Structure 1
Amino acid sequence: MIGIEGAVIGFGLLLILLLIGLHIAVALFSVAVLGAWVFFGDAMFRPFGTMMWGTLNNFLLVAIPLFVFMGEVLVRGGVTERMYRALSDWLRPLPGGLLHTNIIASTVFAAISGSSVATAATIGTVAFPTFRKQNYSERWVAGTVASGATLGILIPPSINLIIYGAITNTSIGALFMAGIVPGLILAALFMGVIAVWSTLDPKIAGPRGKLAPWSERCMRLSDLLPPLIIFIVVMGSIYGGWATPTEAAGVGVVIAMALVAGYRRLNWTMLKESMLSTVTTTAMTLLILVAAFYMNFILGVLGVPRVVSEFVATLNVEPLVMLLILVCLYLILGCFLDALAMMIATIPIVWPIMEQLGYSPVWFGIFLVMMCELALITPPVGMNLYIVQSVRGRGHVGTVIVGVLPFLMCILALVALLGIFPGLILG
Structure 2
Amino acid sequence: MADLLTLGIFLLIFMVVLLGGGIWIAFSLAAVGYVATALVNPTPGLFLASAFWESTGSWTLAALPMFVWMGEILFRTRLSQELFNGLSPWFRRLPGRLLHVNIFACGIFGAVSGSSAATCATISKIALPELQRRGYDETLSIGSLATSGTLGILIPPSIIMVVYAVSVQSSIIRLFIAGLIPGLIVMALFSSYIVGWALLNPEKQPPAEPRMTFGEKLRASAQLIPCVLLIIVVIGSMFAGWATATEAAAVGVLGSLVLAAVTRTLSWQTFMESLTGATRLSCMINIILAGAAFLTKAMALTGIPAALASGVAAMELGPYGLIAILTVVYLILGCVVDGVSMIVLTTTITVPLVTAAGFDLVWFGIFIVLLVEIAQVTPPVGFNLFVMQGLTGREQGMVARASLPFFAMLLVTVAIITAWPRLVTWLPDLLLNR
Whether TM-score is above 0.5 comes out as yes
Q: TM-score range by the shorter chain?
A: over 0.9
What does residue 423 of structure 1 align with?
422
Paired amino acid for 2:147: S
Deviates more, 1:252-261 or 1:168-177: 252-261
Deviations 1:341-394 (A, max 9, x none): 2222111111110001000110111111111111111122222111111111x2
Change beyond 3 A, Cα 1:211–1:66 = farther
What does residue 354 of structure 2 align with?
354
What does residue 405 of structure 2 align with?
406
Alpha-carbon distance in 2 for matches of 1:128, 1:143: 11
1:276 matched to 2:286: no
- What does residue range 194-343 of structure 1 map to in structure 2 within 5 Å? 194-211=194-211, 214-343=214-343
Alpha-carbon distance in 1 for matches of 2:202, 2:126: 23
Q: Which segments of 5 or more consecutive residues in structure 2 lack a partner in the other structure?
A: 427-434
Deviation at 1:264, TM superposition (A): 2.8
8 Å Cα contact 1:140/1:204 also seen in 2: no
Deviation at 1:15, TM superposition (A): 4.3
What does residue 168 of structure 1 align with?
168
TM-score computed with the length of structure 1 as normaliser: 0.94
Alpha-carbon distance in 2 for matches of 1:63, 1:117: 19
What does residue 25 of structure 1 align with?
26
- What does residue range 122-161 of structure 1 map to in structure 2 within 5 Å? 122-161=122-161
What does residue 431 of structure 2 align with?
none
Deviation at 1:213, TM superposition (A): 5.5
Alpha-carbon distance in 2 for matches of 1:258, 1:298: 45
1:179 matched to 2:179: yes
Alpha-carbon distance in 1 for matches of 2:19, 2:89: 44
Q: Secondary structure at the match of 1:46?
A: helix
Q: Secondary structure at the match of 2:179?
A: helix
1:367 matched to 2:367: yes
8 Å Cα contact 2:379/2:400 also seen in 1: yes
Alpha-carbon distance in 2 for matches of 1:208, 1:21: 52
What does residue 93 of structure 1 align with?
93
Alpha-carbon distance in 2 for matches of 1:157, 1:419: 23
Deviation at 1:12, TM superposition (A): 4.3
Alpha-carbon distance in 1 for matches of 2:16, 2:232: 40
Deviations 1:401-421 (A, max 9, x none): 111111111111111111111
Change beyond 3 A, Cα 1:409–1:221 = same
Deviates more, 1:377-386 or 1:26-35: 26-35
What does residue 14 of structure 1 align with?
15
Deviation at 1:26, TM superposition (A): 2.6
Change beyond 3 A, Cα 1:271–1:12 = same
Deviation at 1:291, TM superposition (A): 1.0
Q: Secondary structure at the match of 1:395?
A: coil
What does residue 6 of structure 2 align with?
5
The RMSD of aligned alpha carbons is 1.9
Change beyond 3 A, Cα 1:391–1:309 = same
Alpha-carbon distance in 2 for matches of 1:110, 1:8: 39
Deviations 1:252-278 (A, max 9, x none): 122222222222332222211111111
Deviation at 1:33, TM superposition (A): 2.3
Alpha-carbon distance in 1 for matches of 2:36, 2:375: 28
What does residue 430 of structure 2 align with?
none
Alpha-carbon distance in 2 for matches of 1:202, 1:20: 51
Paired amino acid for 1:360: D
Q: Secondary structure at the match of 1:63?
A: helix
Deviations 1:24-53 (A, max 9, x none): 213212322222334435x11134233322
Deviation at 1:142, TM superposition (A): 1.1
What does residue 69 of structure 1 align with?
69
Deviation at 1:111, TM superposition (A): 0.6
Alpha-carbon distance in 1 for matches of 2:49, 2:81: 44
Alpha-carbon distance in 2 for matches of 1:387, 1:203: 29
Q: Secondary structure at the match of 1:95?
A: coil
Alpha-carbon distance in 1 for matches of 2:147, 2:180: 17
Alpha-carbon distance in 2 for matches of 1:14, 1:402: 32
Deviations 1:91-139 (A, max 9, x none): 2322111111111011001111111011111112112211221122221
Deviation at 1:18, TM superposition (A): 3.8
Deviations 1:289-336 (A, max 9, x none): 111111111111212221111212221221111111111222222222
Paired amino acid for 2:324: L
Alpha-carbon distance in 2 for matches of 1:396, 1:105: 25
Change beyond 3 A, Cα 1:295–1:264 = same
8 Å Cα contact 1:102/1:144 also seen in 2: yes
**Percent identical:** 36
